[in-house]
Structure 1
């Protein structure tokens, strides 16, 4: 347990759920400190007024909600997009790059209120504890960190419920005024992380990789079987690797992501089921809903194919693997991630243009791309007659390119005699 004597004021990453609500009286009881609840709005479908009231009712002296949706998309999601960041080739890192922004908000709140420590509700088995704490270490190296799940005696939800009842923490009841969707979300058996970029599902029957995800679990997109029997075309415009318009309409990051989420969701786009390698050494299974991200990554890659030369495109594929690993591991503020981001910024200078995609029952297909910086030259690649490419030049190129193979074959021939 952190030094009790020196902790007088703590900023808590507060979601409004049972875990973080119980943490408030637990901090006050064990540290005798003031608790400041910090809720970060990343576009998750929450009643932030209700969360604010619950934090105060649970014992927080101050409760604030920070709306950072625009920063989340334009300074984090789009940066990952420019760098082609997919962890293990599949996961679009929606939780991974959300955590450093939340951590930054916690540090800002701690500095604003003169707090001695920052507390988070991440468990000791997951990646989020690393992401939060590395961010705090990078931005406020002297700040104390409290992680209750690693030190308290509570081992289950039942233990937390008992503690909540004993300490006057409001326990959510099903309100008749709630929508069916809100009730379904509350009764959900899965551990979820929800923001405007994605929704992740873990736990319950998903802990067995042999169990297929079932269609009634999806809260953002729809099962591809239930999508319309007609395709839909969507056109995305990019400037320097950053999406700027959908179907001809210019949009900021928040509107663009919400628009593409709606388009993708109705076509069953963005379901990713994967077993991933956690930083802490174990494998975990998750199902992700990411309609907007899936569309943007597909379109962005198509435009890069058009605008980047072979060597740059291939090296960017290699760099993206390391970049994704750094983001997944919570190293957002590390020098190497920042250096690779500079590389992504540089290689994005010509990734400007328009991509049209065809969406149909969970599938994304190319439907044409154009760019003023296109390196595709029809005069050179045509199968018809041309005046710019001398096919006889290929013989000398092949002779030189294959020279190492020729020399090796001659050596083997000589030694075989």
Structure 2
């Protein structure tokens, strides 16, 4: 008797991966092993629901892996250090998690001697490239990567109808929106996100309070940082995962962290998603202000360039390129003096830094108060600096004016 091939499926229990599990059984005649990696988006009840869903679609084995610590240690820390915001707004909430998910799928595939692995990405998004690139790097030769959703090109309604015909219950809300939740935030795709003129209705935001219905009274928090990373909240030292959870709850209760990102996808087309990331938005904003206090002008300029490149490459699935290790080394070095506390005001959708202090402050060490006076130099020295600072530009303007006069044009541009 021929042994049925084994296929390892990256499984979230959502519409796409539920469809994949049943499709693989029917079309490939395969034993499907489902692997769910918790990157921060599952409650205990949701874990049970996912396991039950895997059993309902006939998975021969379901494995659940806690990947939250890896997501924080390997990805989120550098997103913070680099102040990475795609398009200036989006804190890369789910893209980097695909690396951890691909690692676990590849591990199980090797252990099981699987003939193939499968992910539920479509043919139009970024996740397909992230998964494919990671799996190509991680899998042994000969193990296929299957992508039924991409290959078929079906709509979510078509997938749901196909499942319902086979007796699988489908949550009607999943027909309209695709929601990805993780340690670093939630993304919402589908529905109104396809029209750049429209925003999501209030009921489509799953975790944060509508800013218009948030408390009228503001709340102030104090975030503590050590070497560029958050380590305390209101003076209490917290494990990073606990800090993210508490900060996310408190900021989200004030409607902080909602946004819509419109940008260029890896494939070169425009894409648009909504997101909720209250903790990341507060942390990155606070971290940036602390850096302004303790880093030199040149450090901030170079760090900005490195952070932008790093965030872009990470977002586009290029985590295995050694240049990202080079970027990480630079970011690590830049954070040695990023220590201190940041006071943040949360109020009806806004996160405003209202105070910052650090033992490594360059403001306190300057011997000068902006707009008032200086002890580190004399008035004559300041006048000399002002005379020399833009001297080449002064000479260029004098030359331009002289030539204009000679040509009879006057000095007016």
TM-score, normalising length: structure 2: 0.89
2:381 corresponds in structure 1 to 393
Deviates more, 1:133-142 or 1:157-166: 157-166
- The match for 1:53 is 52
Q: 1:209 aligned to 196, 213, 229, which one?
A: 196
Could you tell me how far 1:231 is from its partner in structure 2?
1.0
Q: Secondary structure at the match of 2:247?
A: helix
Paired residues for 1:13-412 under 5 Å? 13-45=10-42, 47-140=46-139, 142=141, 143-152=143-152, 155-164=154-163, 168=166, 170-172=168-170, 186=173, 189-377=176-364, 379-381=367-369, 383-384=371-372, 386-409=374-397, 411-412=399-400
Q: Is the 8 A contact 2:163 2:170 kept in 1?
A: no
State whether residues 74 and 253 of structure 1, in contact with CA within 8 Å, keep that contact through their aligned partners in structure 2.
no
Counterparts of 2:372 and 2:58 in 1: how far apart (Å)?
77
Distance 1:397 1:321 in 2: 33
Q: What CA distance in whole angstroms lies between the structure 2 residues aligned with 1:279 and 1:247?
A: 40
Alignment of 1:8 onto 2:5: yes
Distance 1:217 1:72 in 2: 26
Contact 1:86–1:320 (8 Å) recurs in 2: no
Mapped contact 1:88–1:321 kept (Cα < 8 A): no
Do 2:185 and 2:277's aligned partners in 1 also have CA atoms closer than 8 Å? yes
Q: How far apart in 2 are the matches of 1:217 and 1:18?
A: 17
Question: Residue by residue, what CA displacement relative to the aligned partner does 1:107-135 show, whole Å, maximum 9, x if unpaired?
Answer: 22222323232210000000000111111
- C-alpha distance in 2 between matches for 1:145 and 1:169: 27
What secondary structure is seen at the aligned counterpart in 2 of 1:392? helix
Q: Which moved more, 1:256-265 or 1:395-404?
A: 395-404
Question: 8 Å contact 1:22–1:169 — kept in the other structure?
Answer: no
**RMSD of aligned residue pairs (Cα, Å):** 2.5
Conserved in 2, the CA contact under 8 Å of 1:85 and 1:92? yes
Contact 1:7 1:116 (8 Å CA) reproduced: no
Query: Matches of 2:89 and 2:195 in 1, distance apart?
Result: 19
Deviation (angstroms), 1:155: 1.9
Q: Is the 8 A contact 2:16 2:149 kept in 1?
A: no
Displacement after TM superposition at 1:97 (Å): 1.4
Residues 160 and 272 (structure 1 numbering): CA distance in 2 closer, same or farther, change over 3 Å? Answer: closer
Deviations 1:365-399 (A, max 9, x none): 22211111111136222555543222322343344
Q: Normalising by structure 1, what TM-score?
A: 0.88
1:178 aligns with none
Residues 9 and 34 in structure 1, CA contact (< 8 A), matched pair in contact too: yes
How far residue 407 of structure 1 moved from its aligned partner, in angstroms, is 4.0
Mapped partners of 2:3, 2:133: distance in 1: 22
Looking at structure 2, the residues matched to 188 and 25 of structure 1 have their Cα atoms a distance apart, in angstroms, of 18
Contact 1:7 1:117 in 2 (8 A): no
Q: Compare 106-115 and 374-383 and name the one that shifted more.
A: 374-383
Instruction: Tell me the alpha carbon deviations over residues 194-235 of structure 1, each in whole angstroms, 9 at most, x when there is no partner.
Output: 123211122213321212333232221111111111110101
In structure 1, what is the Cα distance between the partners aligned to 2:164 and 2:282?
A: 45
- On the 8 A contact 1:200/1:286 being kept in 2, the answer is yes
Structure 2 Cα separation of the partners of residues 81 and 321 of structure 1: 12
Structure 1 counterpart SS, 2:272: strand
Residue 322 of structure 1: how far off its partner (Å): 1.3
Separation in structure 1 between the aligned mates of residue 112 and residue 134 of structure 2, nearest angstrom = 19
Aligned residues: 400
After superposition, the C-alpha distances for 1:283-319 in whole angstroms (9 at most, x for unaligned) are: 1222211111111011111111111100011121222
In structure 1, C-alpha distance between the alignment counterparts of 2:336 and 2:111, rounded to whole Å: 37
CA contact (8 A) 2:294 2:337 kept: yes
The answer to whether the Cα contact below 8 Å between 1:57 and 1:169 also exists between their aligned partners in 2 is no
CA distance in structure 1 between the partners assigned to 2:196 and 2:144 by the alignment: 38
Structure 1 stretches of 5 or more lacking a match?
A: 174-184
Distance 1:295 1:133, change over 3 A: same
